[in-house]
Structure 1
Amino acid sequence: MADAPARVALTSEAADLLRRLRVMHGPLMFHQSGGCCDGSSPMCFPDGEFKIGGSDVHLGDLQVEGIEPVSFFMSESQFEYWKHTHLTVDVVKGRGSGFSVEAPEGVRFLIRSRLFTDDESAALNSTGQPLT
């Protein structure tokens, strides 16, 4: 049985920003917005400030050197659309219109995505994380 690929990752620029935000806000978490406020941007909150519900899917924990893992969640209904997709958290200049903690820094997180390869899909299916 192959190891399942990560469903979510981040760029080095996003990791650098998370380290800076960690100093200001403490432990952090992400919830992938479903279209309210800032489109479908990943929203970053102090850990526990966004209440995760029973229908939210934990996609994984982002490993950022120097800080604790940053959990990444998405609503189950949105996951149905994105379950075939690997997500990468990135950061770009410009303010988003949401409540994410990076907004005052003049940047915003965004998602870059790609479809899983056939091998990655098979590995996810074999580990009980079906894509179909």
Structure 2
Amino acid sequence: MSTELIGSSGIGEPRVLATDAALGFIAEIRRDHPDILFHQSGGCCDGSSPMCYPAGDYIVGDNDVKLGEIGGVPVYISASQFEVWKHTQLIIDVVPGRGGMFSLDNGRERRFLTRSRLFGSGEACAVVFRGR
């Protein structure tokens, strides 16, 4: 059973957001690959890359945590990485450059980038266990 986070449903702030530029880039990628997902890479700080995959090509693990959705696309992170970032809100943005080798943003001269901000007191979301 994977872990899903409750965010904008009234319990705290969303754990993941996207800038307008990221939402536009997601829409562009979805024209070529309608069913996609994000998995946050194992970086330890701002500037880490969220990897974008065709949903059928990436197996979400039992220990992955669903942070939420951006532009209708689910965003996952490993449980161990979530432990490091559980006090932060992830903001998916776009910058010039090449995406990860297997990420769908590769070869488009732009790439997704994760920025973050610390949650303030009482902002963090509840964590609940749900089936995928």
Q: Which band: TM-score by shorter chain?
A: 0.7 to 0.9
Question: Which protein has the bigger helix share?
Answer: 1
Report 1:62-77 matches (<5 A). 62=70, 64=71, 69-77=72-80
CA RMSD of the aligned region, Å?
1.7
Q: Which amino acid aligns with 1:112?
A: R
Report 1:1-132 matches (<5 A). 3-35=11-43, 40-62=48-70, 64=71, 69-121=72-124, 124=125, 127-128=126-127
- Per the TM alignment, residue 98 of structure 1 is displaced from its structure 2 partner at its CA by 2.8
Q: Which amino acid aligns with 1:96?
A: G
d(CA) in 1 for partners of 2:80 and 2:48?
13
TM-score (structure 2 length as normaliser):
0.81
Q: Rg bigger for which structure?
A: 1
Runs of 4+ with deviation above 4 angstroms? none
Is the CA contact (8 Å cut-off) linking 2:38 and 2:52 kept in structure 1? yes
| Structure 1 alignment gaps of length 5 or more | none
Question: Which protein has the bigger strand share?
Answer: 2
Query: Which structure ranks higher in relative contact order (CA pairs < 8 Å, sequence separation ≥ 6)?
Result: 2
- Per the TM alignment, residue 105 of structure 1 is displaced from its structure 2 partner at its CA by 0.6
d(CA) in 2 for partners of 1:31 and 1:58?
9
TM-score (structure 1 length as normaliser):
0.81
Q: Which amino acid aligns with 1:92?
A: V
